[in-house]
A and B are shown apart, each in its own frame.
Chain A
Amino acid sequence: MVNYIWVLMTIIGLVVAAINGRMKEVNEAIFNSANEAVTLCIGLISILVFWLGIMRIAQDSGLLEKLSNLFRPIVSRLFPEVPAGHPAMGYILSNMMANMFGLGNAATPLGIKAMEQLKELNGGKTAASRSMITFLAINTSSLTIIPTTVIAIRMNYHSASPTEIVGPTLIATMCSTIGAILIDRYFHYRRTRNGVK
């Protein structure tokens, strides 16, 4: 599906640009965004190195395992394929925590580690497993408790109460997370019903 979306977005963009006479802008956009993507990845190195280093200490000292034991009852329901005490659980949980506290930068390396462990669990296949899809669904629905960036921007525009959106944001986030879990369950049900696991 991603293959089609990727090709479709690019081709539609090129065709529309041809009709609109915006080829110049598109040319610039191609090279600027490629550049931007690489800069983004290079910028990620410092964060990835630091957080994966710290998290390795947490793993080696047994902290990740403790954390996953604490929340196992809830999370094992969401990820029935992940065995108890598996490191994947620890990374999934720390990723969720980091997301909740708005530490987006810390969440990414942990999410990648969780994916790596889930891939191993799945026998190293290059197709996404059920747990991977569930994990992504929860992740992309955003679990933010305190939307720090939004509050900061509201302050910039001299909002009388920049934090008034915290409550509604929390409720909306909860809706989308619950929605993500239900939608994920539905698609899983559909897959197994069709016999393709």
Chain B
Amino acid sequence: MQLISFISLWIIPALIGFILIYSTWKKVPAYESFVDGGKEGIKIAFSIIPFLVGMLVAITVFRASGALDYTVDLMKPLLEKIGVPAEIVPLALIRPISGTAALGMMSDILSVHGPESYIGRLASVLQGSTDTTFYVLTVYFGAVGIKKMGDALKVGLLADLVGIIAAIVIVAWMF
């Protein structure tokens, strides 16, 4: 644990220091390069806004209306039959859609069931081993103006499913 917190504290400053020293050694005008690259950052941030507004609104409407709860209730009996605890379903469903909502659900599960319970561990592993597919897709494709996503969403969601199944199996097996 100490090593981990040491690494996470030092890695960014060390990386920045290394890049700056290396570039100076290579006689690159570091400050000018930095400003050039940074200007691009502003452009990108603004170009993402419409994509993110559209996605977030649709997702919150779906959640606020109660439609997400119904979807969860619909899937519960099927999942319980194969031994998946129902409490994990909302988390698994919301994880690809909203990172912050998933984080909120995870802390909720930990506070209700405790971090050392099966469901608490499962929620932790699930949170760490999957990513916010919709967000990544929206931001990455939105920023560079990709309109046709091809199979990207299908592949991303199926990969999430693999992650969820893997998390369930591994947690049941290891603890």
- Binary contact readout B118-154 vs A (1 if CB under 8 angstroms, 0 otherwise): 0001001111111111001101110111111111111
> Contact partner of B115 among A32, A162, A180, CB < 8 A?
A162
Chain B: interface residue count, which band?
Answer: 35 or more
Residues on B with C-beta less than 8 A from A25 are 64-65
**Contact assessment for A13 and B137 in the assembled complex, using a CB-CB cutoff below 8 Å:** no
In the bound complex, residues from chain B placing their C-beta under 8 Å from that of A5 are: 153
Find out whether the CB atom of A115 lies under 8 angstroms from the CB atom of B110: no
> SS class of chain A's interface: helix, strand, loop or mixed?
helix
Does A50 lie within 8 Å of B146, measured CB to CB?
Answer: no
Tell whether A165 pairs with B128 under 8 Å between CB atoms, given A17-B64, A44-B48: yes
Is B130 a contact of A54 with CB atoms below 8 Å? no
Interface flag for B12 (CB, 8 Å)? yes
Question: Within the complex, which residue of B45, B60, B124 is in contact with A44, where a contact is CB–CB below 8 Å?
Answer: B45
Known: A141-B130, A175-B162. Contact between A136 and B152, CB under 8 A? yes
* Least CB distance, A53 to chain B, in whole angstroms: 4
Interface core residue of B59, B128, B163, B167 (most chain A CB under 10 Å): B128
C-alpha gap A33/B63 in the complex (Å): 11
A172 to B114: give the CA distance in the assembly, Å.
Answer: 21
Stretch of A34-42, A70-78, A79-87 lying at the B interface: A34-42
How many A-B pairs fall under 8 Å by CB?
Answer: 344
Tell me if B's interface is mostly helix, strand, loop or mixed: helix
CB–CB A176/B56 < 8 A = no
Query: Is the CB of B26 closer than 8 A to any CB of chain A?
Result: yes
- Residues of A near B162 (CB, < 8 A) are 141, 175-176, 179-180, 183
- Which residues does chain A contribute within 8 Å of B63, judged by CB atoms? 13, 29
Q: A65 to nearest B CB, angstroms?
A: 12
A61 at the B interface (CB under 8 A): yes
Which B residues are CB-close (under 8 A) to A51? Answer: 41
**Residue numbers in A under 8 Å from B30 (CB-CB):** 57
Residues of A in contact with B (beta carbons under 8 Å apart): 1-2, 5-6, 9-10, 12-17, 20, 22, 25-26, 28-30, 32-34, 36-38, 40-42, 44-45, 47-63, 101-103, 106, 108-109, 111-112, 115-116, 119, 126-128, 132-133, 136-137, 139-142, 144, 146-151, 153-154, 156-165, 167-169, 171-173, 175-177, 179-180, 183-184, 187, 191
22 contacts between A and B (CB under 8 A): A6-B58, A20-B66, A22-B66, A30-B60, A32-B60, A34-B53, A37-B53, A40-B56, A45-B45, A48-B42, A54-B19, A57-B20, A57-B33, A103-B11, A112-B44, A115-B144, A127-B147, A141-B160, A151-B4, A168-B167, A172-B166, A176-B159
The 9 closest A-B pairs by CB, nearest first: A56-B37, A176-B163, A147-B128, A179-B162, A48-B41, A180-B159, A175-B166, A159-B115, A17-B65
Q: Which residues of B contact A (CB under 8 A)?
A: 1, 4, 7-8, 11-12, 16, 19-20, 22-23, 26, 28-30, 33-42, 44-46, 48-49, 52-67, 70, 96, 103, 106-107, 110-111, 114-116, 121, 124-133, 136-137, 139-141, 143-156, 158-160, 162-163, 166-167, 170-171, 174
